[in-house]
Amino acid sequence: MTWNTLDDMDLAGKIVLTRVDINVPVEDGKVTDTTRIDRIVPTIKDILAAGGTPVMLAHFGRPKGQFVPEMSLRVTLPALEAALGQSVTFIERPDRATLEAATGPVLIENTRFSAMEEANDPKMAGFLASLGDIYCNDAFSAAHRAHASTEGVAKLLPNCAGRLMAEELGALEKALGNPQRPVVAVVGGAKVSTKLDLLGNLIDKVDTIIIGGGMANTFLAAQGVQVGTSLCEHDLGDTARDIMDKAATANCTLILPSDIVVAAEFKAGAANEICDVDACPADKMILDAGPKTVETIHAMFNTAKTVIWNGPLGAFEIEPFDKATVAAARAAAEVTRAGTLISVAGGGDTVAALNHAGVADQFTYISTAGGAFLEWMEGKTLPGVAALMQQPG
């Protein structure tokens, strides 16, 4: 199963409805981070170069089906025009004739101003389809939602993936779909409870899972290790043991910290010490993995062919408890630079952590799609992607 790219489509003279994610941060009426806008530029330019008219569909904020003036996509127009180097026509209420008359790129008002968008109402999907000739989805980050502009309309028009979507799907396929082995997953973060599906899926697909962050505490406690006052889901002992059993059956090695950094309080600069994993004092909490653990992780990266990473190894927002996350991220970047590792990471906190380590641009691929990346790591079918796997009719 595969998807069309822009190269598979005859775009000349066509109106190409292009779902993009330009849900950018805005302060005082100005876009403060243009990353998402910059990333859709190749798709829009390629459609124009092929003689098509790109008509951008996008959501902005959570207006819940109402017109909310401060959630108008109009605010993105200057940044969009600067990124594209040309003017963009903004249309609040589109109709086919206006789009046919457009001479350059078009941006349509926030799709979520209609309640029919999130309801994936066939009426809205049909209306959108009547506006264009081809549907192009370049918003992987919105592909986990079955909405009218991400899924409904895709089923009604010849469809394809935009450049960003194709790049993202290609990188994810390399990391989990059809990876070079051995594959090591790094899974960190606060809680096991939010990553159960993810762990369940990874156990069947990867060779090793390195577990870090608060969720490692739950696994340690489940093995009878004292974790003091650490963040720990003590009630998930059975679940954690079940995951360990399943991993053993599937020949997937689970790696937990062998040494830890402990402190009396969750606070930047808190007095801390390194100890073996089984020596956490009763009045202290585990806030990071220790240097021995980082060495183990580095060694694993040296022999792995693929690393897939979601979640920090410690409380990386408060120094010095960012050390293991930063050191491991730099190790992955180093081995990637050396050319022996494919490294893919994603999720909001993970991107922040890799940026903090200064190595986000040295990974093979970083997905900025939070929810969609997680659902993909969980092995779920993303409706927006599934819709690209088939053509209507």
Query: Which residues form the catalytic set?
Result: 36, 191, 348, 371
Question: Cβ distance 341 to 306 under 8 Å?
Answer: yes
213: helix, strand or coil:
coil
Contact stretch for ligand AMP (CB under 6 A) within 149-157, 162-170, 187-195, 201-209: 187-195
Contact stretch for ligand AMP (CB under 6 A) within 27-35, 112-120, 156-164, 189-197: 189-197
Q: How far apart are CA 255 and CA 204, in angstroms?
A: 16
Question: Which position among 38, 121, 295, 317 is part of the footprint of ligand AMP (CB under 6 A)?
Answer: 317
Question: CB of residue 292 vs ligand AMP: minimum separation in angstroms?
Answer: 16
Question: CB of residue 206 vs ligand AMP: minimum separation in angstroms?
Answer: 18
Contact stretch for ligand AMP (CB under 6 A) within 13-21, 27-35, 172-180, 315-323: 315-323
Q: Convert 282-292 to b/e letters by CB count within 10 Å (16 or more is b).
A: eebbbbbbbee
Contact stretch for ligand AMP (CB under 6 A) within 49-57, 93-101, 185-193, 200-208: 185-193
Question: CB of residue 228 vs ligand AMP: minimum separation in angstroms?
Answer: 11
Which residues between 39 and 78 bind ligand AMP (CB under 6 A)? none
For 212, how many CA atoms within 13 A lie in the half-sphere containing its CB?
34
DSSP conformational letter for 59: -
Question: CB of residue 180 vs ligand AMP: minimum separation in angstroms?
Answer: 26
Q: Answer yes or no whether residue 162 interacts with ligand AMP by CB under 6 A.
A: no
Count of residues interacting with ligand AMP (CB under 6 A): 16
275: helix, strand or coil:
strand
Give whichever of 349 and 375 is closer to ligand AMP, judged by the CB atom.
Answer: 349
Question: Cβ distance 332 to 309 under 8 Å?
Answer: yes
Q: Answer yes or no whether residue 312 interacts with ligand AMP by CB under 6 A.
A: yes
- Are β-strands 159-161 and 285-289 bridged in parallel, bridged antiparallel, or unpaired? unpaired
Give whichever of 60 and 373 is closer to ligand AMP, judged by the CB atom.
Answer: 373
The torsion region of residue 163 among left (phi > 0), alpha (psi -120 to 50) and beta comes to alpha
Q: Answer yes or no whether residue 286 interacts with ligand AMP by CB under 6 A.
A: yes
Contact stretch for ligand AMP (CB under 6 A) within 30-38, 153-161, 306-314, 370-378: 306-314
Q: How far apart are CA 341 and CA 364, in angstroms?
A: 8
Give the distance, in angstroms, between the CA of residue 37 and the centroid of all CA atoms in the same chain: 16
Q: Which residue is nearest to ligand AMP (CB)?
A: 189
- Are β-strands 26-27 and 30-31 bridged in parallel, bridged antiparallel, or unpaired? antiparallel
For 343, how many CA atoms within 13 A lie in the half-sphere containing its CB?
29
State phi, psi for 32 to the nearest 5 degrees.
Answer: -100, -15
Q: What are the helix (H) ranges across the chain? A: 35-49, 77-84, 96-101, 115-118, 122-131, 163-172, 196-205, 214-222, 237-249, 291-303, 323-337, 348-356, 370-377, 383-386
Question: Which position among 106, 129, 315, 328 is part of the footprint of ligand AMP (CB under 6 A)?
Answer: 315
Q: How far apart are CA 34 and CA 41, in angstroms?
A: 11
Question: Which position among 184, 287, 351, 369 is part of the footprint of ligand AMP (CB under 6 A)?
Answer: 287
Q: Answer yes or no whether residue 314 interacts with ligand AMP by CB under 6 A.
A: yes
Give whichever of 88 and 327 is closer to ligand AMP, judged by the CB atom.
Answer: 327
Q: Answer yes or no whether residue 263 interacts with ligand AMP by CB under 6 A.
A: no
If you count them, how many residues does the chain have? 393
Give whichever of 287 and 387 is closer to ligand AMP, judged by the CB atom.
Answer: 287
Give whichever of 190 and 196 is closer to ligand AMP, judged by the CB atom.
Answer: 190
Question: Cβ distance 334 to 201 under 8 Å?
Answer: no
Give whichever of 44 and 286 is closer to ligand AMP, judged by the CB atom.
Answer: 286
Question: CB of residue 367 vs ligand AMP: minimum separation in angstroms?
Answer: 14
- Point out which residues bind ligand AMP (CB under 6 A): 189-191, 194, 213-214, 231, 286-287, 311-312, 314-317, 349
